[in-house]
Amino acid sequence: MNHQHQDERSRIREAMDRLLAGQATTSNGSLTVVALAAEAGVHRMALQKRHADPKNEFYERVRNETQQIPETERRLRETVTKLRKTLANKEAELEELRQRVTLLTLAGAVLTQKKDPTPEPPPAPDNVVPFRPPSR
């Protein structure tokens, strides 16, 4: 590791300590990677790419020292909960539609089976006079 890399890592660790102590100086003080990057004076992507282990350590410390779930994890959990509920609703709707298809198929089969083999001619309207009386 070069000197700049080590300097960034030490700034990240110091920023981590300040955030966890509630003494943020340059960030909004939230326990997120964005606040950690702002507090340390490094780009957020540097935490994601070059310094993933201090980022993971930060989240672990947030979980252990503050007994909190990190904001990103909380949002993800809420999203997962909403998606599970949506999926359950969709599965229930799909099952209901399958049952309706079965019932409609059965009703169609019953209606086609009950057709009279000798259908009667439709009644003539009142204003029509037939040329010949209908034969029966």
Residues 63 and 78 in one domain: no
Residue 121 or 16, more confident? 16
State how many domains the chain has.
2
Residues 11 and 64 in one domain: yes
Residue 115 inside a domain? The answer is no
CA-to-CA dists, residue 9 to 47, 57, 117, angstroms: 9, 12, 89
What are 24-78's pLDDT values in tens digits? 888 888 888 888 888 888 888 887 888 888 888 888 888 888 777 777 778 888 9
Residue 133 inside a domain? The answer is no
Pull the structure tokens for residue 11: 């700034």
pLDDT at 101 over 90: yes
Residue 120 or 105, more confident? 105
Expressed as residue numbers, the domain containing 24 is 3-68
How much is the pLDDT for 25? 82
Residue 83 inside a domain? The answer is yes
Residues 57 and 82 in one domain: no
pTM, rounded to two decimals: 0.49
- The percent of residues above 90 in pLDDT, for the chain, comes to 21
Of 13, 41, 68, which one is at a domain's C-terminal end?
A: 68
| Core vs surface per residue 13-48: b (16+ CB within 10 A) or e | eebbebbbeeebeebeeebbbebbbbbbebeeebbe
How much is the pLDDT for 117? 62
How much is the pLDDT for 93? 96
Pull the structure tokens for residue 135: 């034969």
Residues 64 and 76 in one domain: no
Please give the helix or strand (H or E) that residue 56 lies within, else none. Answer: helix 52-66
Residue 92 inside a domain? The answer is yes
How much is the pLDDT for 124? 66
